[in-house]
Each structure stands twice: as structure tokens, then as C-alpha cells.
Amino acid sequence: VSYSHQVANRHVVVLGGRPRAAATVAELLAEGARVTVVAESPDATLEDLIRRGLVEHRSSPDLDLIEGADLVIRPAEPDPTPPASSGVIGSVTLVGGGPGDPGLISLAGREAIEAADVIVTDRLAPPAALNWARDDAEVIDVAKIPRGRSTPQERINRLLTDAARSGRRAVRLKGGDSFVFGRGGEELVACAEAGVPTRVIPGVSSALAAPSAAGIPLTHRGLTQGFVIVSGHVAPDDPACTVNWDAVAVSGLTVVVLMGVRQLAAITARLVAAGMAEDTPAAIVADGTLASQRTVRATVADLAERAAAEGIGPPAVTVIGDVAGLDLNP
């Protein structure tokens, strides 16, 4: 579906909260529409877009809303075809969905989505890519929202292996690359244990794409000879943290932090305490490659404060190092 500029700055009401509605909403947002979703209990991916303030939400439609809208869409949520019981084993393909812009999925990834009988999708996987799914494909949203609703990993593994055992071609669609903080390894192990054939289609990780889209090169001749990608989901002084932040601070490498919004103040303070110069450039890129992409630039000493003041929330990638002072976007 392409609404090609007809919906830019228009108010569009989408009726429904299932995966195809999420796909439509993502497409509309990319085209610059203002979107209100009407659904009593939206699936997790839509709930996340609502929580991030990217779309408005109503539990039920009212006449004022409908009459005031420029466009009202009710996406069809087709009934999936029942699983084939041919006795032939199906397959599981892990598709790295890229950072958010569906244009950044590989051709192989798109082909796998088009061919899939069942698609198990995630919060940060580009919902608009579901528009490529067959009408009779089953789409299951197992989005995990930080500190919100989530589906246990064991249940996701089971969904995948059950689908393949019933002869279906399953796609596991995720944000970025499945093997970068994506639990793709665990899913592959579960499939191997169940004797299910698998394939991995690499994706463009947000760790690379968000800085790149913001005009920040992670390496730059004369500034740094490398980068390190670290999870910031726990604070450096948390017993669960296994990262040697003191070594990271003095490594001379660009530091890229994923899942680090909540602990940003603790992480940056630790880097400075461990010897990183306070005036080291730093930047945080939220919603990288989406229409809502935002970048806040600062130093390592004041990034956390500036990001909070600007209302930056997840998903966001933080870049710390001399390269973060560059802004090469034309």
C-alpha cells in the first residue's frame, strides 16, 4: 500500500488493533499522517506506538472522531488458512527486519515474508513490512515492551517449532539483526532441538543504522579505529552487569549503547569516572530511520540531562566518542 503524499499532515483514523492495522499505521506514519487508532485492546506493537506518543488511541469510535477525520481505514485482518497436515516438515526463517524503515529490509527478507504461512513479529520489527505478507498468512504479534506486556521466550520458541512441525513456513521477524541483542540464537537452538530446518537472513542493526541515519560515522579516519556495541539495560554498578565499563572508557573506541535510555546517567557518569574526558562528544538517536527520528547532541557529561530535557525515550542508540561531534547528513 502506498498513500503517496495524499495523507501527509492529514488525520487518518484506523479501525482495528491487530497486526494488519499495525502495518497500515506504520505506513501512514511514514507518509507523514496524523493517526488515531480505534481498538478496544490493541496488540502489543500498536500499544507500543501509542505509548511512544506516535499515534493517538481511542477504545471506541465516536461520531465526532469519524466525521472530523480526513480518511477512515479498516484494514482487513484475513483469517489464516488452517495448517497443512501433509506430514511434510515446514521451516523457520529468522528475518532481520532492519531498524524500522521497511526499505532497509534485504530482498531476501522481503521474499521470505511474501512466502510465509505464518509470521511471528516483534515490536521493533518494521510493521509496514507486514503489508508484503500473503492475505492468508497468519501474523502473530509477540512484541515485548520494556517493563510492559511480554510473551515468554519459551512460548515464542514453541510457536515457531509448532508452526514448522505442522508443515508451515514460519518467519520470525525482528528489528535490526536477529543476533544483536535479539535472542535469535536461542530460537535457532530451539529449532535445532526440535529437528526443524532453519535459515537466517541478516538484518541491518540499529546499532549501525541509527548513527548512520543521523549523520554520525562510527569510524572516521583520524578519529577512531573502531567501535564497541554494548547493552545498557543494566547500570554499570548492577551485579547483573558483565561489561567492563572502565576498560570501555579508555579503549579509544566509539562507544555505541543499545537499550541504554533508562541507565544513561549512570553509564555516562561511570565513563567519566573511569577517565573519559568530560567534553567527549556524545549523541543519542531515537526512532532511527523512522519519520519520528530525533537526535540530541551533547557531551558525555551532559547527554543524559539534555536527552531527558528533550523527552528522548526508547528505542534509542547512544554514540559516545569524537565521531559523535560530526554531523555529516546533507
Ligand X SMILES: C[S@@+](CC[C@H](N)C(=O)[O-])C[C@H]1O[C@@H](n2cnc3c(N)ncnc32)[C@H](O)[C@@H]1O
Residues carrying an active site annotation: 122, 144
Min CB(191)–ligand X separation in Å: 18
Taking CB under 6 A as the rule, does residue 319 contact ligand X? no
Q: Which one of 127-135, 179-187, 219-227, 320-328 is the stretch in contact with ligand X (CB under 6 A)?
A: 179-187
Q: Does 210 bind ligand X (CB under 6 A)?
A: yes
Q: Is 259 in the site for ligand X (CB under 6 A)?
A: yes
Q: Cα separations (Å) of 214 from 68, 171, 296, 309? A: 36, 30, 10, 19
In the list 248, 314, 319, 323, the residue contacting ligand X (rule: CB under 6 A) is 314
Min dist CB 189 to ligand X, Å, is 17
* Contact call for residue 94 and ligand X (CB under 6 A): no
Question: Is 276 a binder of ligand X (CB under 6 A)?
Answer: no
Whether the Cβ atoms of residue 322 and residue 255 lie closer than 8 Å to each other: no
Choice from 285, 296, 303, 323 touching ligand X (CB under 6 A): 285
Q: Is the peptide bond before 146 cis (omega within 30 degrees of 0)?
A: no
**Quick check: 138 binds ligand X (CB under 6 A)?**
no
Angle (CA) 178-181-185 rounded to 5° is: 55
The C-alpha cell at 197 is: 530446518
The least distance separating ligand X from the CB of residue 76, rounded to whole angstroms, comes to 28
Residue nearest to ligand X (CB): 176
Q: Which is nearer to ligand X, 28 or 312 (CB)?
A: 312
CB of 127 or CB of 314, closer to ligand X: 314
Nearer to ligand X, 38 or 173 (CB): 173
Whether 178 and 200 have beta carbons less than 8 Å apart is answered as yes
Query: In this chain, which stretch among 65-73, 159-167, 284-292, 295-303 interacts with ligand X, using CB under 6 A?
Result: 284-292
| In the complex, least distance from residue 323 CB atom to ligand X, rounded to whole angstroms | 17
3-state SS track over 13-77? EEECCCHHHHHHHHHHHHCCCEEEEECCCCCHHHHHHHHCCCCEEECCCCHHHHHHCCEEECCCC
CA angle 145, 183, 125 (to 5 degrees): 50
Among 288, 297, 299, 320, binds ligand X (CB under 6 A): 288
| 211 sits near ligand X (criterion: CB under 6 A) | no
**206 sits near ligand X (criterion: CB under 6 A):** yes
Half-sphere exposure (Cβ direction) of 234: Cα atoms closer than 13 Å: 9
Tell whether residue 156 is a contact of ligand X (CB under 6 A): no
Per rule CB under 6 A, is residue 124 in the interface with ligand X? yes
| 240, containing H or E segment | none
Cα→Cα distances 31→62, 68, 291, Å? 25, 20, 8
Q: Rounded to the nearest whole angstrom, what is the least distance from the CB of residue 120 to ligand X in the complex?
A: 15
**Rounded-to-integer distance, Cα 202 and Cα 192, Å:** 18
Whole-angstrom distance, CA of residue 124 vs CA of residue 289: 12
Residues in 239-258 that interact with ligand X by CB under 6 A? 258
Q: Is 59 exposed, middle or buried (0-12, 13-18, 19+ CB in 10 A)?
A: exposed
CB of residue 56 vs ligand X: minimum separation in angstroms? 21
Residues found near ligand X in the complex (CB under 6 A): 99-100, 124, 174-177, 180-182, 205-207, 210, 258-259, 285-290, 314-317
